[in-house]
Amino acid sequence: MSDDRTFVIIGAGQAGAWAIYALRDEAGFEGRIVLIGDEDYIPYERPPLSKSAMLGDTSVDDAYFWPREKYDEWNIDMRLGVTAQSIDPKDKNVLLSDGTTIGYDRLLLATGTRPRLLPIEGADLGGVHYLRTIADTLAIQEDIPDGGTALIIGGGWIGLEVAGALSKRNCKAVVVEVADRLCGRAVPPEISDWLLSFHQGKGVDVRLNAGVEKLTGENGRLTGAVLQGGEAVDCTLAIVGIGVVPNSEIAEEAGLDIDNGVVVDEQGRTSDPDIFAAGDLTNHPNSLLGRRIRLESWENAQNQGRAAAKAMADQGEEYAEIPWFWSDQFDANIQMIGLPESWEQLATRGDIAANEFITFYLKDGKIDGAISVNNPRDIRMAKRLMQSGKQVSADDLSNPDIKLQALLKG
């Protein structure tokens, strides 16, 4: 049966790209699909931007999900290099920055997030960068100082990934973090301690409890920074990673419910029944965790994008998955599951000194989350244990003589 409906997707990132895939290859939707992206590039993955693509080890073309020909095969109406200016839910249309208006039967918001801006003097100097897009990566690539110093403002995942990557280019990385530990909002103190020791062991200069008072320069280019307390740091490159902000303004202006992102139900539907949202900008329910969350996660953007697309095509099911994150830093592959807000016990299995271990978060005698370093096998088993809801003890989890598979079997 032919379908004369038009589905519009605003956002050509992870969620938007996988929504197209789900509509065509999984849901069999045969109607018109319009993809709106504010960059000139076809959809691409972001993880390589802080690693191989930034260093020039791989081409940015390698980050594309699929070649342009695939979108032609899917018969996608691509509107790249334009911005969605406003949504009219009553008349069901979207106004673009080039003045055109596109009508829709159903709409998917996949606008993601944007970097939080650094509100200090000198933040607009040449050589000061944020990292979110291919354009950002290419600009940083041009400014990497061979044998010089790069200032990384923010000791979260992006900052640490960048520090590790730049060190491969004979560039000294100085990480400045205003808090008293690294990744303080994401990991327990024990893991923060490991991250600090690990990066310092690789030659990264980490400054905790340190903020940047101002950035200084000459002829419009960065030459240094003044830290709070007056210490001066010479640098010709600065990369800012102090968090992100959900791109929910267009949704709010359209009258949709907003609460730390766009509020959606378990199928990705917003407060307007014909408008859906997926990815980093959504505040969505997770029945496995028993609360609403907003995730900035590669996997969530992909899978929620697929789930919301199927719901648009009237094939929706509840979307609820255990959150999974990953980060590559130097020779360490770090993986995390869950989103624990508090825990009663920690249990570690493996060798922390050898950078090969897994730490479990326990609450009410069950695994509420875990983080592994160079231990992908155990993190997979930990996820199965967490999904099972089985009672486990910290002693058993810490004992390498007791296999995790045996705990799963009970």
Q: What is the pLDDT of residues 173-191, one digit of tens each?
A: 999 999 999 999 889 899 9
The answer to whether 186 and 217 are in contact (CB under 8 A) is no
Q: How many CB atoms lie within 10 A of CB 209?
A: 12
DSSP 8-state symbol, 133: S
Q: How far apart are CA 172 and CA 163, in angstroms?
A: 8
Q: How far apart are CA 297 and CA 366, in angstroms?
A: 24
Domains annotated for the chain, with CATH where assigned, are 6-114+245-312 (3.50.50.60), 117-242 (3.50.50.60), 331-409 (3.30.390.30)
Task: Please tell me the pTM assigned to this model.
Answer: 0.95
Phi and psi angles of residue 55, each rounded to the nearest 5 degrees, phi first:
-85, -10
DSSP 8-state symbol, 42: P
Question: What are the CB-based long-range contacts (under 8 Å, 24+) for 140-145?
Answer: 140/54, 140/237, 140/239, 141/54, 141/55, 141/56, 143/236, 143/237, 144/55, 144/169, 144/171, 144/237, 145/171, 145/236, 145/237
pLDDT for the residue numbered 397: 97
pLDDT for the residue numbered 59: 87
Mean pLDDT by 10 residues, the chain (410 residues): 88 98 97 97 93 86 94 97 98 98 98 97 98 95 94 97 92 97 91 97 97 97 96 97 97 98 98 98 95 95 98 96 95 95 94 96 95 97 94 96 91
For 31-66, what is each residue's pLDDT tens digit? 999 999 999 999 999 988 998 888 888 888 899 999
Alpha helices, DSSP H, located in 224-343: 249-253, 298-312
pLDDT for the residue numbered 379: 97
Q: Which residues pair with 94 in a beta bridge?
A: 87, 102
Q: How far apart are CA 155 and CA 281, in angstroms?
A: 22
